């Protein structure tokens, strides 16, 4: 897998050298989300929620189009896939941290903090798997977890603008935590299977 990424990076270098920028548009769009912590956290801290909402939409659109353009320009790569996975987690954690800045010390605060810790654990497992060439497969539970997590982020943000029942947010918090735990278990099982296959 590391060799695949090295080859992808060499291809990126060739594309840039030959001014073939079109195939690199998906990676550029993906990389833009790396700047989300430097934009969103200060905006939330200084209570610029309207601008923060616009920037969240902007970053979300880069997530929507990078995959589409990668397929369109036949630029899907191992490097791009892992970069997208990494920045998606950075983006999600940025929004969670930003929202915690604006959240009072209550049950939702603690639940949101647990979600951040679990998401970090998932990221660490992915990084470990990458360096060990174990390549954990994306599972249905993981995909559902991502959908629920972003739904939760949407509710948490909207709660700062309109009235949303705290029970609804708490339910989404709990569901997200359960799915994160199941995702961690499924990733660890997949890594264990991959280890056995490699050992043979």
pLDDT digits (tens, 9 = 90+) for 142-199: 778 878 887 777 777 777 667 778 788 888 889 989 999 998 998 888 888 877 666 5
Tell me: pLDDT of 3 over 60: yes
Pair (42, 52) in one structural domain: yes
- Residue 25 in tokens: 């548009």
Q: In the listed set 102, 123, 147, which residue is the last one of a domain according to the structure?
A: 102
How many CB atoms sit inside 10 A of residue 87's CB? 23
Q: Considering 42, 77, 102, which residue would you say is the last residue of a domain?
A: 102
Q: Are 115 and 170 in contact (CB under 8 A)?
A: no
Q: Which domain holds residue 198?
A: 104-200
At 136, give phi and psi (nearest 5°): -65, 135
* pLDDT single digits (tens) 70-116: 778 777 777 777 788 788 878 888 887 777 666 544 556 677 788 88
Domain tally for the chain?
2
Spatial distance between the Cα atoms of 138 and 183, rounded to a whole number of angstroms:
9
**Top-ranked range on mean pLDDT: pick from 60-64, 129-133, 136-140:** 60-64
Among 79, 102, 125, identify where a domain stops.
102
Residues 57 and 95 both lie in one domain: yes
Q: What is the pTM (predicted TM-score) of this model?
A: 0.68
């Amino acid at each position: 897998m590391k060799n695949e990424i090295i080859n992808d990076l060499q291809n990126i270098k060739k594309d840039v050298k030959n001014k073939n920028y079109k195939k690199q548009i998906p990676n550029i769009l993906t990389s833009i989300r790396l700047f989300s912590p430097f934009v969103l956290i200060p905006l939330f801290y200084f209570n610029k929620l309207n601008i923060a909402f616009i920037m969240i939409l902007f970053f979300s659109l880069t997530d929507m189009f990078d995959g589409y353009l990668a397929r369109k320009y036949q630029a899907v790569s191992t490097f791009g896939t892992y970069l997208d996975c990494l920045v998606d987690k950075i983006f999600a954690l940025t929004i969670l941290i930003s929202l915690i800045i604006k959240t009072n010390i209550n049950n939702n605060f603690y639940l949101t903090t647990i979600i951040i810790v679990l998401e970090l654990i998932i990221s660490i497992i992915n990084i470990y798997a990458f360096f060990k060439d174990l390549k954990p497969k994306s599972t249905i539970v993981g995909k559902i977890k991502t959908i629920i997590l972003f739904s939760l982020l949407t509710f948490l943000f909207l709660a700062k603008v309109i009235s949303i029942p705290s029970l609804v947010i708490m339910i989404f918090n709990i569901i997200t935590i359960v799915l994160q735990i199941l995702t961690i278990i499924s990733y660890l099982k997949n890594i264990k299977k991959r280890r056995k296959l490699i050992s043979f």
